[in-house]
Each structure stands twice: as C-alpha cells, then as structure tokens.
Amino acid sequence: MLAMALEAYIAAFADERDDAEQRLVVRNEHAKPRRVTTVTGAIEVHAPRVDDRRVEQATGQRCRFRSSILPP
C-alpha cells in the first residue's frame, strides 16, 4: 500500500523538471527496515524513499513526501 502511494506521488510530479531537464521527484532506494505492530502481530517493513527536490515558492523550503500510512 505504501509503495503504491509513493508511486502515485512520483507520477503526479513526473512533468516537473529542473534547468538540466532532470526530474525533481524521484524514487530513492529504501529506508532502513523496521518492525511495525499490526493486529496480526509485528511485521518488518522495507519502506521505499523519495527524493523531492522541489522548493516551495512562498517559504523557500524544500517540499517533502510525508506518508500518512507509515509515519516516521
């Protein structure tokens, strides 16, 4: 479910490019595996990561992907 949400996020910004025509939002490996407790017990999760190099015009800060499925 998390991988599908991440792929949708990346696809939404696929047309945004920098001056060198490089995509600003790309997939970036996986985060460290961690254990998540569910109703059926603890499972190990290998969450994918995203590199979002977009900058918010109003604040000048970089945009970030934040998962509501698997919080930090």
Q: Is 63 within the bounds of a domain? A: no
pLDDT tens profile 4-14: 888 888 899 89
Number of domains within the chain: 1
pLDDT tens profile 32-54: 888 988 898 998 888 888 888 89
Q: What is the 3-state secondary structure (H, E, C) of 26-69?
A: EEEEECCCEEEEECCEEEEECCEEEEECCECCCCCCECCCCCCC
pTM: 0.67
- The continuous run of DSSP H or E covering 25 comes out as strand 25-30
Q: Is 32 within the bounds of a domain? A: yes
Q: Is 62 within the bounds of a domain? A: no
